[in-house]
Amino acid sequence: MTKIIELKGDDQKLDEILFEPAKILREGGTVAFPTETVYGLGGNALSEISIDKIYLAKGRPSDNPLIVHISKLEQLDMLASEINGNAKILMDKFWPGPITFVLKKLEAVPLKTTGGLDTVAVRMPMHPVALKLIELAGVPVAAPSANISGRPSPTNSSHVIEDLYGRVDCIIKGESAAVGLESTVLDVTEECPVILRPGNITKEMIEEVVGCCKVDPGLKNKELAPKSPGMKYRHYAPVASVEVYVGDTMSFIKRAEERILELALSEAKVGIMAFDEDLLVIKNLIKGQLEDEVSNRLVFYCSQGSSKDLTSFARLLFESLRECDANFCDVILIRGVDEDGIGHAIMNRLNKAASGKVMRI
C-alpha cells in the first residue's frame, strides 16, 4: 500500500506532516516528494536495500546512477572525498538549487547508488519540503525522478501517482514543480567543470562564476558514450511519436498546418506543442480547412507559454508530453528552440523524446 500525504501549504506544520515520511526513509522505505525541478523518488542513499527498492519501483537499469540529495553542506563529508576550489565556489553560488555536482566518492557510498562508478552525484534542493524531509530523515537521500524509467519526468503529483502508486511506500503531494526540467549535472572532478546533463543552471551562468565550463561532447556526438550514464537511454518519451521542428515562426506554422492536414487524412490524432502566438495562428488556419468535429477529434493544442519567456516552455514540457499521451495523440509536433541558455536543456530533452527526429526548417 502506498501512503499518500497531502500538503496544504501550511509551512508551520511541515515538521509534523513530514515526520512519518522521514521515518519511512530512515527505516529503508521509499518516498516520492516534490522538488523545485521535478518530483523525486527517495530512499536512504547509504542503504543497499533502499537503493534496490528505488531501482525496482522505477524499472531502472542498474548502471544508471542516482543523485544523492542533502540538506546541509556538512553531509558532503560522508559522501565525497575531494572538493576542488571551483566546486566550492559553484556550490556556494547555486546551492540550494537545481544543480547536481559529480564528485569523487567515499567508500561509504554504496556502488549500487553510483551505478558502479567511483564518483557520486550530489544535490542540495531548494524546495522547502525536500529540504525539511532530508533534514528530518537524517540520512542523505538518493532520489531519481519519480517516474517509471523512460517516461517523461513527473512535474506534478498526479504524474507520480500515475506512475508509482502501489510501487512505493509513500507519495507526498505538493505543488507543481517550478522549474519543470531536471537539475544540471556538472562534473567538478577537474578544475574546469563539464556539463553532463544541461538544466536550468546554464553553461553561461557557470562560466560567469568560474570563467570556464565545457559540455560533455558525448551529449551531441553519437559516436561517443555520454559521461552521464542516464543520457544514453531513450528518455522523456511519450507513447506518441514526436517530431521537433526548429526554425522561424512562419516556417513552423506552415509545417504544422501541412502535417495536421496530412495526418487528418489518415485519421491520426495530432498534438501541437508551441508558443501561444503560434497556436493562435495555427488554430485559425485549421478552422478554415477542417470541420469543427474533425479538428476537435484529431487536433490537441498544448501551450508552451510565450516565446519571450523560455522558462514556461521548460516548466510545461514534460506535462504537455504526458497530456498528449492522455489525449491519445498518435503524433506530437513540437516547436524547437535555439540551444542557448535554458534552450540547451529544452533541446536536450526534446532530442531524446523525439529519438533524434529533430528537423531544421
Note whether 228 binds Mg ion by CB under 5 A: no
As measured in angstroms, the least distance from the Cβ of 304 to ligand TXA is 20
User: DSSP characters for 88-101?
Assistant: HHHHHHH-SSSEEE
As measured in angstroms, the least distance from the Cβ of 252 to ligand TXA is 29
- Residue 92-131 contact track with Mg ion, rule CB under 5 A, x = bound: ----------------------------------------
Note whether 35 binds Mg ion by CB under 5 A: no
CA distance 147 to 227: 22
66 binds, among Mg ion, ligand TXA, none (CB under 5 to 8 A by kind): ligand TXA
Residue nearest ligand TXA (C-beta atom)? 230
Note whether 183 binds Mg ion by CB under 5 A: no
Tell me the residue length of the chain.
Answer: 361
Contact assessment for residue 67 and residue 38, using Cβ atoms and an 8 Å cutoff:
no
Give the binding site for ligand TXA (CB under 6 A): 35, 37-38, 40, 64-67, 100, 102, 114, 117, 119-121, 123, 125, 143-145, 182-183, 185, 196-197, 227-231
Note whether 156 binds Mg ion by CB under 5 A: no
- Amino acid found at 85: G
Which span sits near Mg ion by CB under 5 A: 139-147, 196-204, 246-254, 280-288? 139-147
Which span sits near Mg ion by CB under 5 A: 143-151, 243-251, 256-264, 284-292? 143-151
CA distance 322 to 230: 20
Q: Within 13 A of 34's CA, how many CA atoms are on the CB side?
A: 23
As measured in angstroms, the least distance from the Cβ of 197 to ligand TXA is 5
Give 66 or 353: the residue with its C-beta nearer to ligand TXA.
66
As measured in angstroms, the least distance from the Cβ of 200 to ligand TXA is 9
As measured in angstroms, the least distance from the Cβ of 232 to ligand TXA is 8
Alpha helices in the chain (DSSP H): 14-17, 19-26, 48-58, 85-94, 128-137, 157-164, 203-210, 249-265, 276-287, 292-298, 310-326, 343-353
- Spatial CB neighbours of 53, under 8 Å, sequence gap ≥ 6: 28, 29, 30, 43, 168
Residue with grid cell 495536421, as numbered in its chain? 260
Among 113, 114, 145, 156, binds Mg ion (CB under 5 A): 145
Please, what is the angle between helix 249-265 and helix 276-287, to 10°? 40
CA distance 243 to 48: 40
351 binds, among ligand TXA, Mg ion, none (CB under 5 to 8 A by kind): none
Residue nearest Mg ion (C-beta atom)? 145
Strand, coil or helix: 309:
coil
Give 145 or 304: the residue with its C-beta nearer to Mg ion.
145
As measured in angstroms, the least distance from the Cβ of 288 to Mg ion is 42
Contact residues: Mg ion, CB under 5 A:
145
